[in-house]
Amino acid sequence: MALADAWEVRDLRRFLIGDSVSKIGRAAFMTAAGWTVNLQGGPTWFALFGISYFMAHIPLLTFGGMLVDRIPRRTVALYTDFVQAGFALLFILLLLSGFPVTIVLVLAAFLMGASTAFSIPATQALIPDLVDKEILASATGLHNAMRTIAWAIGGTLGGVVLYQLGIEATLFLDMVTFLVSAYVLYNMEEVPIIRNGDEESDFRSEMLHALDFTRSQPWLFIGILVFMAFHIGGAMIDIGIPSIALRNDWNELHYALWGAIFPIGASLGALYAGQNPISKRIRGTVFYVTVSFAAWLDLLFVFVPWFSLILLISVIQGFIVGILSVIWNTTIGDSVEQHLRGRVNSIDAIGSFLLIPPSMLLAGKMIGDLGLEVTFMVAVAIMVASSIVGIVVPSFRRFERIGTEQFPITDDQS
């Protein structure tokens, strides 16, 4: 079995376990913090909470991507885990000292966003370093599945811990899980970065080199632009979720369960895609058709009053997104050279996240002025419109490496 073959790789197995543990703690805190900020400050403060995360995250992603193309990815991830644990301890002390809760949590989002700007490209680029190309899709499926199921567990746990013990306890859980992840990474073998001897070494040249590669691949360049537009609508939907819960008289446990059920579906979708890899020939078509369908499902959230049906919609949507994530991450993994992978992953992340902060602020304003229904209809319209580009243009949905004079196809991408 493909998934079993990937699981047999020792360092991959170690990494997946450690990474999943840290995701449980982070999901617990983010769920609890998001609910607390929205409850005390409303949609506008909740939007500021999200914006604060991306204010530091987006600018630092370029540095993070360049760093993980210079320094072994395990080392970057290891030290980032220590920093994350230190931040959690700092915020516990600030809260216990009596500082305003909403301000501390917004600051926490800012600094945690800064640190994850280094961990995201490191962990994304590490998977292809640990396994052979033949089982990359399965390894990616396992990673996405375990990461999302950990987020589901953490989100639910965060709601329970917040309800029983308070926000400080969720920060303590976050700190402990990152220390566990650091211990696992410390015991993994280092994978050296193999760089071209004539490659430029200054920041500007290295990022321009990665941008040149991105533009040379239509599926990658357009995919990043599509994600940029798609996440405008996605961010607007996310800001509206707590308001829907409050409007229906649901509490933090409902909110946590709602947040947890989507990752459960996503983990199942990732496992399915990992066990049944989708061929390069149809990857793009499957991707754009299903992402459009997933966007339409978001519209149901604002009109469905039954919590059980909300959960069913979420798990279906999660299943679809789990498949999509494996398709995209596998394509980057088997189409981008090792020494470029960190920077390309950073460019991909920047494209996805760049317009999220203003979208969150816009959503908070729209919900207050126009209501949830109008906000969700606008958000879904943006997401569906962005996905049509990939469906209509054949070269955009052809998820295969294209050889150019500057970037010829190597044996790894053939």
Tens of pLDDT, residue by residue over 355-390, are 887 887 788 788 878 888 898 999 889 888 888 887
Helices first, then strands: H and E counts in the chain: 14, 0
**Residues 54-70: what's their mean pLDDT?**
78
Per-residue model confidence (pLDDT) at position 338: 67
Give residues with Cβ within 8 angstroms of 98, minimum separation 6. Answer: none
pLDDT tier for residue 194 given thresholds of 50, 70 and 90: low
Compare 27 and 195 and report the one with higher pLDDT.
27
Per-residue model confidence (pLDDT) at position 289: 86
Q: Is residue 196 part of a domain?
A: no
Given a cut of 90, is residue 179 above it in pLDDT? yes
Say what the alpha-carbon torsion angle 321, 326, 331, 332 is, to the nearest 10 degrees.
90
Per-residue model confidence (pLDDT) at position 220: 85
Given a cut of 80, is residue 341 above it in pLDDT? no
Q: Is residue 244 part of a domain?
A: yes
Q: Is residue 142 part of a domain?
A: yes
Range with lowest mean pLDDT among 105-119, 221-235, 275-289, 311-325:
275-289
Separation between Cα atoms, residue 398 and residue 5, nearest integer Å: 28
Q: Is residue 178 part of a domain?
A: yes
Given a cut of 80, is residue 133 above it in pLDDT? no
Q: CA dist 284 to 229, 279, 288, 413, Å? A: 17, 10, 6, 17
pLDDT tier for residue 199 given thresholds of 50, 70 and 90: low
Q: Is residue 337 part of a domain?
A: yes
Q: CA dist 254 to 105, 152, 322, 332, Å? A: 21, 13, 23, 36
Most confident of 67-71, 110-114, 174-178, 268-272: 174-178
- Give the CATH number of the domain where residue 173 resides: 1.20.1250.20
pTM: 0.69
- Looking at the chain, the whole-number percentage of residues with pLDDT higher than 70 is 95
**Residues 188-208: what's their mean pLDDT?**
67
Per-residue model confidence (pLDDT) at position 367: 84
CB 317 within 8 A of CB 267: no
Q: Is residue 348 part of a domain?
A: yes
pLDDT tier for residue 89 given thresholds of 50, 70 and 90: very high
Q: Is residue 264 part of a domain?
A: yes
Q: Is the dihedral angle over the CA atoms 156, 162, 167, 168 positive or is it negative?
A: negative
Residue type, position 385, single letter: A
Give residues with Cβ within 8 angstroms of 90, minimum separation 6. Answer: none
- Looking at the chain, the whole-number percentage of residues with pLDDT higher than 90 is 10
**Residues 272-298: what's their mean pLDDT?**
83
DSSP category for residue 277: P
Given a cut of 70, is residue 193 above it in pLDDT? no
pLDDT tier for residue 217 given thresholds of 50, 70 and 90: confident
- Domain containing residue 141: 2-190+202-413
Q: Among 302, 300, 324, 325, which residue's Cα sits nearest to residue 313?
A: 300
pLDDT tens string 244-262:
888 888 876 787 778 778 8
Q: Is residue 197 part of a domain?
A: no
CB 270 within 8 A of CB 127: no
pLDDT tens string 28-48:
888 888 888 888 887 778 778
Q: Report the interhelical angle of 10-68 vs 136-164 (nearest 10°).
A: 90
pLDDT tier for residue 172 given thresholds of 50, 70 and 90: very high
Q: What total of structural domains would you count in the chain? A: 1
pLDDT tier for residue 202 given thresholds of 50, 70 and 90: low
CB 278 within 8 A of CB 285: no
Per-residue model confidence (pLDDT) at position 165: 87
Given a cut of 80, is residue 403 above it in pLDDT? no
Per-residue model confidence (pLDDT) at position 203: 66
CB 264 within 8 A of CB 149: yes
Per-residue model confidence (pLDDT) at position 191: 73
Separation between Cα atoms, residue 72 and residue 389, nearest integer Å: 37
Backbone φ and ψ of 179, nearest 5°: -65, -40
Say what the alpha-carbon torsion angle 81, 86, 30, 360 is, to the nearest 10 degrees.
-90
Given a cut of 60, is residue 180 above it in pLDDT? yes
Given a cut of 60, is residue 71 above it in pLDDT? yes
Residue 320, token pair as written in the block: 């679809």
Compare 350 and 109 and report the one with higher pLDDT.
109
Tell me the average pLDDT of the chain. 83
Given a cut of 80, is residue 339 above it in pLDDT? no
